[in-house]
């Protein structure tokens, strides 16, 4: 077969695709712990969630004989630093968006991550396949169905913050794709260290305590030490085999499953259109995973050019 007659579809490994899908599901469980922590605001919660992440990552590093993971995250070059800042921006911007605009608006704009990732993916030499475009179109349609009735209630600053969240996560996803063999786990501790500092300053400026009730601290630490760490390690493992845009599409399962945990564990019943929209989104991400895992020839991944991302 001639080079110009290659199949248009891109085959993705089944296990890596399932890991990508699963990372979103694990992350989505954070809605339960966050809702259960009823006596903390978002910034207090983020402080202790971040402490949980740092503790586990440093413990893993100690077992492996690689201590000081938090410092490594900020001393390992510009791409690692960009990954730190990307995921920090995604987390802190989404918190601000939720506090200043409707949850629907925040979810809609932050879920533009796959579209932003298309731009960043060009720096990796990755091409956009037809199946990705179709999955994106279906996913956006599901988001529109979910939030259509709430768009008029938004706040512009919050909307900008939500979009910044999508930019941050797309940057993180792209950085992880630049080196398939690199250990990106220090990013977790790196961005969380910055999060602890930033949220502590905000909390004290708001006149609130840095130490909320013990039960809320426990929920936050579990969220960070288990849900965030496990989900992100799954994401990183999958990112070594799956290109940037499909990765960010797959992890939209986080948005699809969050309402499910609300129904089953928190007795929070969303509107009918929310369920319909979530079903459409889930069909898009699962359909994308199934299609690319079973059709066509797998492409070679192209390394990122030596261009600073900061």
- Tell me the residue range of the domain where 240 lies: 9-294
Higher-pLDDT residue of 221 and 133 is 221
Share of the chain above pLDDT 70, in %: 73
- Whether 152 shows a pLDDT value over 60: the answer reads no
Residue 3 lies in a domain: no
What is the radius of gyration, based on Cα positions, of the chain? 19
**Cβ neighbours for 261, distance < 8 A, ≥ 6 positions apart:** 28, 29, 31, 32
**Span 278-295, pLDDT tens digits:** 778 777 766 776 676 666
For residue 195, pLDDT beyond 60: yes
Q: Which among 61, 172, 155, 45 is positioned nearest to 109, based on CA atoms?
A: 155
Predicted confidence (pLDDT) at residue 2 exceeds the cutoff of 80: no
Q: How many residues does the chain have?
A: 310
Question: Given pLDDT bands bounded at 50, 70 and 90, which one contains residue 14?
Answer: confident
Q: Is 2 part of any domain?
A: no
Mean pLDDT of all residues in 89-112: 71
Average pLDDT, the chain: 77
pTM (2 d.p.): 0.72
Residues 20-31, mean pLDDT to the nearest whole number: 85
What pLDDT is recorded for position 201? 96
Distances (CA, A) of 79 to 155, 232, 275, 302, 306: 33, 17, 38, 16, 10
Residue 157 falls inside a structural domain: yes
4 occurs within a structural domain: no
pLDDT at 129: 75
The gap from C-alpha 41 to its chain's centroid, in whole angstroms, comes to: 21
Q: CA 108 to CA 168: how far, in whole Å?
A: 15
Q: CA of 112: how far to CAs of 15, 181, 220, 242, in Å? A: 25, 28, 27, 19
Mean pLDDT of 90-106: 71
- Give the N- to C-terminal CA distance of the chain in Å, as an integer: 41
User: Among 10-14, 214-218, 229-233, 265-269, whose mean pLDDT is lowest?
Assistant: 10-14
Residue 79 main-chain phi, psi, to 5 deg: -70, -45
Collapsing DSSP to helix, strand or coil, 68 comes out as coil
pLDDT at 218: 96
Which tokens hold the place of 195?
A: 């999060």
Average pLDDT for 155-160: 72
Note the pLDDT of residue 36: 86
Asked if residue 268 belongs to a domain, the reply is yes
Per the model's pLDDT, the better-predicted residue between 195 and 246 turns out to be 195
Lowest-pLDDT range, 198-202, 278-282, 301-305? 301-305
The count of structural domains within the chain is: 1
- Quick check: 305 pLDDT over 80? no
pLDDT band for position 217 (50/70/90)?
Answer: very high
Greater confidence (4 vs 281) lies with 281
Q: Tell me, what's the pLDDT at 109?
A: 66
**pLDDT tens by residue, 56-74:** 888 888 888 878 888 888 8
Q: Does residue 310 lie within any of the structural domains? A: no
Within a domain: residue 137? yes
Q: What is the pLDDT of residue 4?
A: 44
Portion of the chain with pLDDT greater than 90, in percent: 15
Residue 232: inside a domain:
yes
Read off the DSSP letter of residue 224: I
Using CA atoms, how far apart are residues 290 and 267, in angstroms rounded to an integer? 32
Among 39-53, 84-98, 114-128, 154-168, top mean pLDDT goes to: 39-53
Q: What is the mean pLDDT of residues 190-199?
A: 92
pLDDT at residue number 241: 82
DSSP 39: T
Give the pLDDT band of residue 206 (cuts 50, 70, 90).
Answer: very high
């Amino acid at each position: 077969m001639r080079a110009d007659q290659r199949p248009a579809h891109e085959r993705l490994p089944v296990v890596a695709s399932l890991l990508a899908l699963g990372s979103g599901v694990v992350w989505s469980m954070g809605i339960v712990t966050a809702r259960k922590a009823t006596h903390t605001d978002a910034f207090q919660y983020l402080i202790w969630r971040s402490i949980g992440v740092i503790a586990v990552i440093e413990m893993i590093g100690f077992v492996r004989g690689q201590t000081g993971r938090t410092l490594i995250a900020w001393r390992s070059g510009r791409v690692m630093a960009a990954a730190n800042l990307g995921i920090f921006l995604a987390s802190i911007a989404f918190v601000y968006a939720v506090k200043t605009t409707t949850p629907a608006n925040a979810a809609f704009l932050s879920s533009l991550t796959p579209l932003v990732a298309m731009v960043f993916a060009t720096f990796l030499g990755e091409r956009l396949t037809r199946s990705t475009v179709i999955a994106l179109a279906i996913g956006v349609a599901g988001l529109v169905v979910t939030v259509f009735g709430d768009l008029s209630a938004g706040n512009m600053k919050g909307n900008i913050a939500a979009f910044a969240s999508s930019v941050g996560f797309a940057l993180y996803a792209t950085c992880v794709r630049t080196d398939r063999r690199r250990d990106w786990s220090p990013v977790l501790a790196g961005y969380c260290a910055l999060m602890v500092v930033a949220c502590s300053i905000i909390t004290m400026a708001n006149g609130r305590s840095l130490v909320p009730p013990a039960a809320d601290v426990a929920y936050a630490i579990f969220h960070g030490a288990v849900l965030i760490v496990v989900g992100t390690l799954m994401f990183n493992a999958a990112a070594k085999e799956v290109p940037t845009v499909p990765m960010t599409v797959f992890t939209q399962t986080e948005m699809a499953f969050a309402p499910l945990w609300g129904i089953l564990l928190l007795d929070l019943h969303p509107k009918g259109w929310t369920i319909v929209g979530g079903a459409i989104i889930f069909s898009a991400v699962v359909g994308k995973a199934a299609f690319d895992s079973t059709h066509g020839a797998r492409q070679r991944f192209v390394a990122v050019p030596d261009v600073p991302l900061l």
